[in-house]
Structure 1
Amino acid sequence: MSDDELTCVNGLPVTSLARTVADCLATLPPLEGLVVADAALHRKVPADDVLRAIQLRGRTNGYIRAAALLSLADDGAESPGESATRYQLLRAGLPVPTTQIPVSTRVGTVWGDLGWDGWRVLLEYDGRDKYVTREDLVAEKRRHDAVVETGRRVLRVTHQDMGSAVARVVPLLPATVTRNLRRRPELAA
């Protein structure tokens, strides 16, 4: 391990964040690796640093998969649930969705978690703690209605129905896109 892959935290030597992410991409199941990479990129760890750490590992087990997973990581994912939703879509072979899609509405600019703006399809991941108060729920309903009024189709996803997200989104996409889906082998568990 090279010196630039090490750092000190509270006086203890540890691997750098980029090296830790590279190790996670190479050794964890693909879903967990992607969640870790998304979180790191969201926190502004440069993807180039992670790629360099992957390359420094050499052609060890997981090297090819780690690089492939890193290419699918996205700094726009704001929660593990959003990453997991995107993972399910990518694993099924759907086109790479855009994250944090701005939508101009009557209530101002609203940001969709992920989707395909060209096809006017948005997915919103609703985590357990997203709506703490009644006011949160009312505000989200108002936001949702404003987005739908722009002609977009919005699919809400929770942890409980994550497994059905692909089946629910396919009918919303053009047949030319969904007719020849090819699963991504690097995302196979």
Structure 2
Amino acid sequence: MDARIQALLVGGEGLVTRREMLRAAPAWTIQTARRAGRLIRLLPGVYGDATLIRDADVDLPTLARVERDVARRAALAYADGRGALSRLTALDVWGLRRQPPGESVYLDLPRGSGLRDRPHLVVAQRSGFAIAPPQVVTRGGLPVTRLDRTLVDCWPLLPPVDRSSLLIRAVNDRLTTPQRLAAALAEVPRMPDREALSGLLDRLGAGCRSPLEIWGHDHVFTGAGLPTFTRQARLRMGARTMYLDMFAEAERVNIELDGATSHGDPAEREIDLRRDALLASVGILVVRFTHRRLTAEPAQVRQETLAILANRSPRLMIK
């Protein structure tokens, strides 16, 4: 291979654009390197060192036969500074879902960029899109769409069973907020299953932080006779900060919903008991419902909750 092209490949960590090569060497050197099997074309105008090929399956697109990081850098080189990794690829960069082998690279560009889909590359052109904050941020040295818009754009692409858990995790990890997600959804007026996403954001906005809490909100803890619970109520006790699942402030009752796998560890159960005792010391009654009871006996759980709240009514307690 021509030494000039080799030097460009080393400097580009195995990648080089045709424009860069033509600035350094005549066009025939590119053809010679390709015929010799030393240089591969990954995308129009983007080439790589042939040693980058990892998958021997020649039926796959060339971009799918290199490591994912190489494929992403090649896609960005193809965009020539006008694109950012998006959708399922951005979700991987954000660390929320790893892209499985064979899944395409996703790239967002401004409308009118003139670039289109290629094998193993999905391009979306967006009106008003700019490769700059707040629409695009840099993670791991790569331009990527902001997380709230990424999650919204991924909603119709993900298996239904995975959708809610990813958004809940992002909110619980404080990577985004229900309000920012709702604002991102407003930017996308038409999308499949938009109503389901909107409903989930309503529940997250109300303070629900798990699928069980959402189920309880929809089927048990809202309606006639029930107060408006403060979800994830922040309580400071000395040097300790606690968050209460569902707090009825007037009655001083905190309802905790224990997931299907909760308290398998005796040590975790001991932590909960100590926490409950600490809350009792300031007059807060903790009521716990298991996943099994909540889902199998919703009417009974509702009646028990109403009875507990009635007995804790401020009027009764004053008497």
Q: Give the TM-score category using the shorter length.
A: 0.5 to 0.7
User: Given residue 106 of structure 2, which amino acid in structure 1 is its aligned partner?
Assistant: P
Which residue of 141, 165, 169 maps to 2:305? 169
Counterpart of 1:115 in 2: which secondary structure?
A: strand
Q: Name which of structure 1's ranges 85-94 and 148-157 shifts more when overlaid on structure 2.
A: 85-94
1:18 to 152, 155, 176: 152
Code of the aligned partner of 1:42: N
> Which residue identity is paired with 2:181?
V
Per-residue CA deviation, residues 119-161 of structure 1 (Å, 9 max, x unaligned), is 3121112234433443332332222123223222322011101
Q: Give the alignment of 1:126-165 within 5 angstroms.
A: 126-163=258-295, 164=298, 165=301
Change (3 A) 1:76 1:89: same
Whichever residue aligns with residue 85 of structure 1, its letter is G
- Partners of 1:75 and 1:5 lie apart in 2 by 31
Matched, 1:38 2:168: yes
Indicate the structure whose relative CO is greater, using CA pairs within 8 Å and at least 6 residues apart: 1
Q: Partners in 2 of 1:89 and 1:4 — Cα distance?
A: 43
Contact 2:151 / 2:167 at 8 angstroms: preserved in 1? no
- Alpha-carbon distance in 1 for matches of 2:265, 2:199: 40
Contact map agreement 2:221 2:302 (CA 8 A) in 1: no
Decide whether the 8 Å contact of 1:38 with 1:75 is kept in 2.
no
* Deviation larger for 7-16 or 138-147: 7-16
Closer, same or farther: CA 65–109 of 1 in aligned 2, 3 Å: closer
The match for 1:47 is: 178
Instruction: For structure 2, list consecutive stretches of 5 or more residues without a partner in the other structure.
Output: 1-82, 93-98, 108-148, 312-319
Partner Cα distance (1:57, 1:5) in 2: 18
CA contact (8 A) 1:113 1:122 kept: yes
Distance 2:164 2:248 in 1: 20
Question: Are 1:98 and 2:222 matched, yes or no?
Answer: no
Shifted more, 130-139 versus 75-84: the winner is: 75-84
Partner Cα separation in structure 2 for residue 111 and residue 57 of structure 1:
33
Deviation at 1:62, TM superposition (A): 5.1
Task: Tell me the TM-score normalised to structure 2 length.
Answer: 0.40
- 2:217 is aligned, of 86, 91, 113, to 86
Alignment check: 8 A CA contact 2:280 2:286 kept = yes
Contact 1:51–1:70, Cα closer than 8 Å, also in 2: yes
CA-to-aligned-CA distance 1:85-123 (integer Å, 9 cap, x gap): 334345546454323334456995543222222331211
For 2:219 and 2:168, the matched residues in 1 are separated by: 14
Distance 1:90 1:36 in 2: 24
* Partners of 2:216 and 2:294 within 8 A in 1: yes
SS of the equivalent of 2:304 reads: helix
Percentage identity across aligned positions? Answer: 17
Gaps of 5+ in 1: 176-189
- Larger proportion of helix: 1
